[in-house]
Amino acid sequence: MLSIIGGLVFIGLGLLGIAVWLTDLLVVIKGSLPVMAALGGLIAVAAGISSVKDERAAKKEEADNKSEETADTASEKEKEETKE
C-alpha cells in the first residue's frame, strides 16, 4: 500500500516538474537526440556484425559436419568392402 501511495506522489511531482520546467525539458530532449541516435546506430552496427559472424560460423560448422559425414561414409564403405 505504501508503494502505491509513494508512486502516486512521485507521478504528481513528475507532472508538476514537467509543467514548471517544460522548456528546459525540451532543451534537454533536443540535446540528447543526437547522442541517442549515435548510440542506437552503434548498437545496430554491433548487432549486424554479430549476425554476420554467427552466419559464417554456422556455414563453417555445416561444412565441417558434411566433411565428417563424407569421411564416415567412406570409411564405412571401406570396412564393408574388406569384410566381403
Q: Could you report the per-residue pLDDT of 67-83, keeping only the tens digit for each?
A: 776 666 656 666 666 66
Domain count for the chain: 1
Who's near 18: CB < 8 A, 6+ residues apart? 25
Q: What single-letter DSSP state applies at residue 11?
A: H
pLDDT at 18 over 70: yes
Distance from C-alpha of 36 to C-alpha of 29, rounded to nearest angstrom: 10
What is the domain extent for residue 8?
2-83
> Looking at residues 45-49, what average pLDDT do you find?
96
Share of the chain above pLDDT 70, in %: 81
> What is the pLDDT at residue 65?
80
Global pTM exceeds 0.75: no
The 8-class DSSP code of residue 57 comes to: H
> What integer best gives the mean pLDDT of the chain?
88
Q: CB neighbours (10 Å) of residue 25?
A: 13
**Would you say residue 84 has pLDDT above 60?**
no
**Helices 2-20, 22-83: crossing angle, 10 deg rounding:** 120
Cβ proximity of 18 and 12 under 8 Å: no
